[in-house]
Amino acid sequence: MDNNKNLWAPWRLGYVLSEKPKECVLCSMPGDNDDEKHHIIHRGVTCYLLLNLYPYTNGHMLVAPYRHTSEYDDLTTEELAEMAQITKRAVQAVKKSMRPGGFNIGLNQGQVAGAGIHEHLHFHIVPRWNGDINFMPAVAGVKVMPQSLDEAYETIRSVF
For position 35, which CATH number holds? 3.30.428.10
- Classify residue 52: in a domain, yes or no: yes
Phi and psi, residue 7, nearest 5°: -100, 95
The domain total for the chain is: 1
Residue 88 is assigned to a structural domain of this protein = yes
Three-state SS for 88? helix
In a domain, 100, yes or no: yes
Tens digit of pLDDT at every position of the chain (160 positions) = 455 555 455 555 565 566 655 789 999 999 988 999 999 999 999 999 999 988 888 999 999 999 999 999 999 999 999 999 999 999 999 999 999 999 999 999 988 888 888 999 999 999 998 877 644 444 445 555 667 888 888 889 888 8
Residues acting as catalytic residues: 122
Task: Provide the total of helices (H) and of strands (E) in the chain, helices listed first.
Answer: 6, 5
Q: Which residues pair with 42 in a beta bridge?
A: 49
Query: Do the domain assignments include residue 92?
Result: yes
**Does 6 reside within a domain?**
no
> Which range of residues forms the domain containing residue 94?
21-154
